[in-house]
Amino acid sequence: MANKVATREAYGEFLVTEGAVNENLVVLDADLSGSTKTNGFAKAFPDRFFNAGIAEQNLIGMATGLAMSGKTVCASTFAMFASGRAFEIIRNSVGYTGANVKVCATHAGITVGEDGASHQTFEDIALMRTIPGMTVVSPCDSESAKLLLKQVVDMNGPAYVRLGRAAVPVFYDETAKLELGKGHQLRPGKDITVIANGIMVPSAMEAASEMAEQGIDVRVIDMHTIKPIDEEIIIKAAKETGKIVTAEEHSVIGGLGSAVSEVVTREYPVKIKMVGQHDTFGESGKPDELREKYGMTAKDIVKAVKELY
């Protein structure tokens, strides 16, 4: 696999590039600008960067006020605190008004690693996608992060973008054709479909290659946008392959697996197996060790595919 870059690094680069051409862009952080990578923007455009300090509720409140005054606002902190602590502000001030606030949250999921359970959020996608009008995005690598962030910033209205701490393989290149709200089929397949997002996308491709050797033809879809979800591509997969495995670095309660199930049960019921965090807290450890222990690797996708097939 090619070189590795964290999606948060891509976010930092995106902000500097976008900030140069979009004078309306304002960025807020909550004392984590070195970690969320908003520090590049802060250095390049100090007048348009505001630090809320360790105050995530006010981070989102101020972001709303700026957005209500016509600014495009990216507000960043760790995913745990953005989606958890500030949930109700995002719901009532951002969501209810449809404010043009992009919550770009980093350090999501188990790959936060050593910081442990208090910082490993598996609930953010579930929380964010219950808010009416909220666009929810989970890119799998640095290139897709940049492509999707551009579309998120160009659209009007609230969005949540889930970004990671750990360096992950660069999977796409800048010519990739990714469209917000549209699942991206990475590999055709007729026997079973794996719908993945975030760091589970390369794992899904790895699993599909392994399955191909065993004569199982796996379709793989990168479902980078969880809301609005691409119903068409899901229904097509259910009809054509009859079985679906979902894979996400998130709780199987309320995340991608749930979102896919909601469509499938309504439109074309087929069996689904979900790879993800199974209703438990994490712990300290290296990202790869944790993925192994909590069942979010290519091997786990292979296992789920075999169980269903």
Partner 1 sequence: MIREKIEYYEKIAQSVRIDVIKAVYNAGSGHPGGSLSAADLLTALYFGEMNIDPENPDMEGRDKFVLSKGHAVPGQYAVLAERGYYPVEDMMSLRKLGSPFQGHGNCHKVSGIEMSTGSLGQGVSVAVGMAIANKLDKSDSRIYTLLGDGELQEGLVWEAAMAASHNKLDNFCAMIDWNGLQIDGKNEDVMRVAPIAEKFEAFGFHTVEIDGHNFEEIFGALDEARATKGRPTAIIAKTIKGKGVSFMEDRAGWHGKAPDMKQAKEAVEELGGEW
Q: Which of 279, 225, 277, 1 is nearest to 112 (CA)?
A: 277
127's tokens: 């929380």
**Binding segment toward partner 1, per CB under 8 A, in 10-18, 53-61, 127-135, 290-298:** 53-61
For the chain, what is the radius of gyration of the CA atoms?
18
Q: Give yes or no for residue 112 binding partner 1 (CB under 8 A).
A: no
Alpha helices (runs of H) in the chain, residue ranges in sequence order: 7-21, 33-36, 39-44, 56-68, 79, 87-89, 124-129, 142-154, 200-213, 231-241, 256-267, 287-293, 298-308
Among 6, 26, 80, 186, binds partner 1 (CB under 8 A): 26
Instruction: Encode burial over 254-270: b for 16+ CB neighbours within 10 A, e otherwise.
Output: bbbbbbbbebbeeeeeb
Question: Residue 167 burial by CB count (10 A; 0-12/13-18/19+): exposed, middle or buried?
Answer: middle
175 in contact with partner 1 (CB under 8 A): no
Closer Cβ to partner 1, 66 or 145, answer by number:
66
Contact call for residue 132 and partner 1 (CB under 8 A) = no
- When binding is defined by CB under 8 A, the residue of 2, 21, 46, 70 that contacts partner 1 is 70
- The burial of 160, by beta-carbon neighbours within 10 Å (0-12 exposed, 13-18 middle, 19 or more buried), is given as buried
Rounded to a whole number of angstroms, the minimum distance from the CB of residue 62 to partner 1 is 4
| The two three-digit tokens of residue 216, written as one number | 């199982």
Site for partner 1 contains 69 (CB under 8 A) = yes
User: Considering the rule CB under 8 A, would residue 50 count as an interface residue with partner 1?
Assistant: yes
Torsion angle of C-alpha atoms 220, 174, 146, 218, degrees rounded to 10: 0
39 counts as binding partner 1 under rule CB under 8 A = no
Mask for 78-97, x = binds partner 1 (CB under 8 A): ----------xx--xx--xx
**DSSP designation for 78:** B
Max Cα-Cα span within the chain: 58
| Residue 262 is among the residues annotated as catalytic for this protein | no
Binding track, positions 283-302, relative to partner 1; x by CB under 8 A: --------------------
Coil, strand or helix: which one is 21? helix
Confirm or reject binding of residue 63 to partner 1 (CB under 8 A). yes
Size of residue set near partner 1 by CB under 8 A:
28
Q: Which residue from 35, 58, 151, 261 is in contact with partner 1, where contact means CB under 8 A?
A: 58
Closest approach, Cβ 53 to partner 1, in A, equals 7
- The minimum distance between CB 89 and partner 1, in angstroms, equals 6
Please identify, using beta-carbon distances, which residue of 103 and 274 lies nearer to partner 1: 103
| Residue 62 touches partner 1, criterion: CB under 8 A | yes
Catalytic residue, chosen from 56, 123, 206, 248, is 56
Block residue for tokens 């074309």? 268
Which residues are at the interface with partner 1 (CB under 8 A)? 26, 47-48, 50, 52-53, 55, 57-58, 60-71, 88-89, 92-93, 96-98
Active site residues: 56
